[in-house]
Structure 1
Amino acid sequence: MVTEQEVEGLGQMLLDPQKPLQARFRALFTLRGLGGPAAISWISRAFSDDSALLKHELAYCLGQMQDSRAIPVLVDVLRDTRQEPMVRHEAGEALGAIGDPEVLEILKQYSTDPVIEVAETCQLAVRRLEWLQQHSGEPVAQGPYLSVDPAPSAEERDVGRLRVALLDEARPLFDRYRAMFALRDAGGEEAALALAEGLHCGSALFRHEIGYVLGQLQHEAAVPQLAAALARPAENPMVRHECAEALGAIARPACLAALRAHAADPERVVRESCEVALDMYEYETGSAFQYADGLERLRPPPS
């Protein structure tokens, strides 16, 4: 049983900007795992930090906890136009992940936000909540990953047809996301290569989600395209951030070289993502801390 003092210690670690980012992330993921009002309170207080990467992870964790007590702070973050787009986007996605229909109206309101990544995120969150309402009472198929995704996996199982759906930019984004998560769940090299093609699609939000699922999939076939996206200075920082974390999760020698090459990147969120991804790399190759519990990727249980 964790004591109040231990929870407070984790909260103080999370809020301390003098602590290494990796240590603060570990405190965050531990609080997420503990759950409850005290953990939500500590996580909520950290939105005053100046690291967009950290705030993005705060919102993600609150969504994954699926506790409606986090709704007020997430709505505040979504509404706050002073927050970075990637933070507001993650707050919108988290509201959809919690699954409470009470946020439908606020999500619809921000579905026309002038920041396209925020607008598209809220559109997806609305579709997810509507899908949940339409399938209320039905058993939801549980894939090999434990994350709460912004769209349910498609029923289609043919990788070739899923690839076509994924890359068809005329289709609704929600349907393409469903194909994306079905490809992730299918696994294997063919699925990884199909997903990696998505890194060249038009929507930055879509490309960022591709990086996320490739990090979950952890297939080395995607490394060249992930490294190339990370290396593109003109690429949206939230895409480069996800590609860095995916490389840390895949943890092959080529990943290490790519991450080291951008460890001093002029873009702060990319630089910090590489810093944390290098820590992830060390875990995947033998370190003690289990990043499987954070950084937007949960590994499947052993088969």
Structure 2
Amino acid sequence: MVTEQEVEAVGQTLVDPQQPLQARFRALFTLRGLGGPVAIAWISRAFDDDSALLKHELAYCLGQMQDRRAIPMLLDVLRDTRQEPMVRHEAGEALGAIGDPEVLEILKQYSTDPVVESTQSPSVFLELPLWPGRCWDITTTWTQGGSAEGAGLRCGSALFRHEIGYVLGQMQQEAAVPQLAAALARPTESPMVRHECAEALGAIARPACLAALRAHVADPERVVRESCEVALDMYAHETGSTFQYADGLERLRSPLS
């Protein structure tokens, strides 16, 4: 049984900028797994952080939780033009993932947003057959034909390429590593695409991934170097003996482990 004090302690780790980014990510994914209003409140508090990568993942986790109590915060993020485009785009996707009809008109409104990442995210979800219980099977389209993975990372919008990187990470196939590493190394590529490629390499966790990630831990683009930092932590988890990445509670209960 998880106590309210333990949830609070995990939340404190998430919002503490003095904590290592890896620890904050593990805390975030722990809160996602716990769910409920207290977890949502702690995740929402972290949107004041100055890391676009962390805020992007906050929105992603709120969408995965599919709890309509997260809608007000996600709407605030989507509307806030001071937020980075990749954060606003993820807020739009999260709202679509929650799938509450009350946000439909707002998503329609932001499908014409002047920032392209914010425009495309609501548009994607407006085209879904709608909504709860449905799943958009992008993997079928993007991974047929063997070499489609690599081709996809060079075509379409930045959002499209970003989502391809995400899907390839979920598939965890070593065949995708050269294309992901090449996209990560391409300085002309959108930072939001490079970040997703880094996280995908961390999830695939093969030796070739390690070299690619280490090559960019000092990248001049903050979101890229932070993504590599987190991805190296994911790599360590995937190749280690720990049961789950979202181990905020375990670390709290066994601080010496």
TM over 0.5: yes
TM-score by length of 2: 0.91
Decide whether the 8 Å contact of 2:30 with 2:246 is kept in 1: no
SS of corresponding position for 1:132: coil
Mapped to 1, the partners of 2:146 and 2:17 lie a distance apart of 37
Decide whether the 8 Å contact of 1:192 with 1:217 is kept in 2: no
Structure-2 change in CA distance of 1:116 and 1:13 (3 Å): same
Mapped to 2, the partners of 1:220 and 1:31 lie a distance apart of 30
Segments of structure 2 that go 5 or more residues without pairing to the other structure are 248-257
Count of equivalent residues: 247
Decide whether the 8 Å contact of 1:192 with 1:222 is kept in 2: no
Runs of 4+ in structure 1 off by over 6 angstroms are none
1:114 aligned to 2:98?
A: no
How far does residue 59 in structure 1 lie from its aligned partner after superposition? 0.3
1:44 aligned to 2:44?
A: yes
TM-score by length of 1: 0.78
How far does residue 280 in structure 1 lie from its aligned partner after superposition? 0.9
Mapped to 2, the partners of 1:97 and 1:14 lie a distance apart of 23
Structure 1 residue corresponding to 2:181, chosen from 210, 214, 227:
227
| 2:99 corresponding residue in structure 1 | 99
How far does residue 258 in structure 1 lie from its aligned partner after superposition? 0.5
Mapped to 1, the partners of 2:187 and 2:49 lie a distance apart of 25
Structure-2 change in CA distance of 1:191 and 1:292 (3 Å): farther
Between 33-42 and 191-200, the greater mean CA deviation after superposition: 191-200
| 2:251 corresponding residue in structure 1 | none
Structure 1 residue corresponding to 2:136, chosen from 149, 152, 167:
152
How far does residue 292 in structure 1 lie from its aligned partner after superposition? 7.9
Mapped to 2, the partners of 1:21 and 1:81 lie a distance apart of 25
Structure 1 residue corresponding to 2:215, chosen from 261, 277, 281:
261
Percent identical among aligned pairs is 79
Provide, for residues 243-284 of structure 1, a one-character-per-residue CA deviation record: whole Å limited to 9, x for no partner.
001111111111111000001000000000000101111111
Segments of structure 1 that go 5 or more residues without pairing to the other structure are 141-150, 154-179, 294-303
Structure 2 residue corresponding to 1:215, chosen from 169, 183, 188:
169
Mapped to 2, the partners of 1:191 and 1:69 lie a distance apart of 41
1:291 aligned to 2:249?
A: no
Please give the residue correspondences for 1:22-61 in structure 2 after superposition, counting only pairs within 5 Å.
22-61=22-61
Decide whether the 8 Å contact of 1:196 with 1:210 is kept in 2: no
| 1:16 corresponding residue in structure 2 | 16
How far does residue 289 in structure 1 lie from its aligned partner after superposition? 5.9
Structure-2 change in CA distance of 1:216 and 1:54 (3 Å): same
Structure 2 residue corresponding to 1:240, chosen from 194, 200, 208:
194
| 1:157 corresponding residue in structure 2 | none
Mapped to 1, the partners of 2:200 and 2:125 lie a distance apart of 23
What amino acid does structure 2 have at the position aligned with 1:181?
Answer: T
